Amino acid sequence: MRNIVILISGSGSNMAAIVRAAEQGRWAHHLNAQVSAVLSNRAEAQGLAFAHDHGIANQVLDHKAFASREDFDAALMAEIDRHAPALVVLAGFMRILTPGFVAHYAGRLLNVHPSLLPAFPGLNTHQRAIDAGCRFAGATVHQVTAELDYGAILAQAVVPVLAGDTADTLAARVLTQEHIIYPLAVAEFLRGLL
């Protein structure tokens, strides 16, 4: 069985979408894959309750308890590696990862970003798209590299930027698309490993 480890920092809505897709699509049977663990850097991350309710191992590793980013990433890698992951999925994990972490999981580390990369890497993507006068925005699933929000694009979804949109209304519309394309991209990635 190929294990998927998902990293979250908050609500875990993309993690939940992936878990539901794995259950409904019977990934264990069809893709020989399962979500084996959910890890968070924040104890208050609401997604941990969802993981627990679905019988998925979950753990908190508080980044504030470590002296450096490197120390945290080393401890996080050790915890992830306990689950022998075929794939590590970032689902709203709000930490910039060290090059050593990214190199350790090279080729098996995915992220979803709320813009049409390569446009608007980093934070505040929705407001930046509105401020730039974009007619369209969206989301991108990509492989993670040491360069922030860079790497091979696996899937994208496009939404219109509507007159009167705020960063919040645009973000909500983009998030619904993330919930669709992220599970599909994960499943397609796993098929490529068969």
Q: Which of 95, 114, 1 is nearest to 39 (CA)?
A: 95
Three-state secondary-structure class, residue 35: strand
**Residues noted as catalytic:** 113
Please determine, for residue 187, whether its predicted confidence score (pLDDT) is greater than 80.
Answer: yes
Give residue 10's pLDDT band: very low, low, confident or very high (50, 70, 90): very high
Which domains, from first to last, does the chain contain? 2-193 (3.40.50.170)
Q: Determine the Cα–Cα distance for residues 140 and 92; give it in Å rounded to an integer.
A: 13
| Percentage with pLDDT > 90 across the chain | 95
pLDDT value for 193: 82
Report cis status (omega within 30 of 0) of the bond before 160. no
Mean pLDDT, residues 38-67: 97
Q: Determine the Cα–Cα distance for residues 153 and 149; give it in Å rounded to an integer.
A: 10
pLDDT value for 194: 66
pLDDT digits (tens, 9 = 90+) for 129-155: 999 999 999 999 999 999 989 999 999
pLDDT digits (tens, 9 = 90+) for 66-107: 999 999 999 999 999 999 999 999 999 999 899 999 999 999
The edge-to-edge listing of strands for the beta sheet with 153-160 is 57-60, 33-40, 2-8, 85-90, 109-113, 136-143, 153-160
The residue written with tokens 């922030």 in the block is 148
